Amino acid sequence: MKRSKKGIVLRTGRHWINGTIFYSELFISEDFPIVDHHAIMDHINVLDKFIGNKKMLFLSDVSSSENILSFDALKIWGENESLNKHRIAEAFVVCSLADVYYFKQYIRLNDLAYPAKVFNDKKEAVNWLSEL
């Protein structure tokens, strides 16, 4: 983990705060071809301290590659009580139609404690979050 003024960088992603939006960009590497439940726990374990006591709008960008987040990891990410105490809403940015269906199914099948929506465009996601 590297921490800088711009945020936190881990093996499978980076996180930063801009205004009231908490940005997460998840990606894959040669060592980690998918963000699985172990990798997502690495993210969760550092984020509570990073966010502090703030309530934030979350933007999770997985558009760097199709199918990089396992369903187990997504479930852990969405249901984690430590993160949920910070979430107001979450927008997912994806790159493919398959990921749109994947994330919409996740939102539909889980009883999330916050509004969530899937986008193909980061600007649209930011606009939706800003309207909340």
Q: Where residue 112 sits, what CATH number does that domain have?
A: 3.30.750.24
Q: How far apart are CA 68 and CA 94, in angstroms?
A: 10
Q: What is the pTM of this model?
A: 0.90
Query: What is the percentage of the chain residues whose pLDDT exceeds 70?
Result: 96
Please give the pLDDT value at position 5.
63
Average pLDDT over residues 96-106: 91
Strand ranges for 51-120 from DSSP E? 56-61, 87-93, 116-119
Domain total of the chain: 1
Range of the domain at 13: 2-131
Report whether pLDDT(129) > 90: yes
* Residue 74: Cβ-neighbour burial (10 angstroms; 0-12, 13-18, 19+): buried
CB atoms within 10 A of CB 88: 16
Q: How far apart are CA 51 and CA 103, in angstroms?
A: 24
Q: How far apart are CA 71 and CA 104, in angstroms?
A: 12
Structural contact between residues 57 and 129, judged by C-beta atoms closer than 8 angstroms: yes
User: Taking all residues of the chain, what is their mean pLDDT, rounded to a whole number?
Assistant: 89
Q: How far apart are CA 38 and CA 72, in angstroms?
A: 10
pLDDT in tens, 11-60: 889 999 999 999 999 888 777 778 888 889 999 998 988 998 999 999 99
pLDDT in tens, 83-95: 999 999 999 999 9
Q: How confident is the model at residue 69 (pLDDT cuts 50, 70, 90)?
A: confident
Tokens of 117: 């929506």
Q: How far apart are CA 15 and CA 64, in angstroms?
A: 14
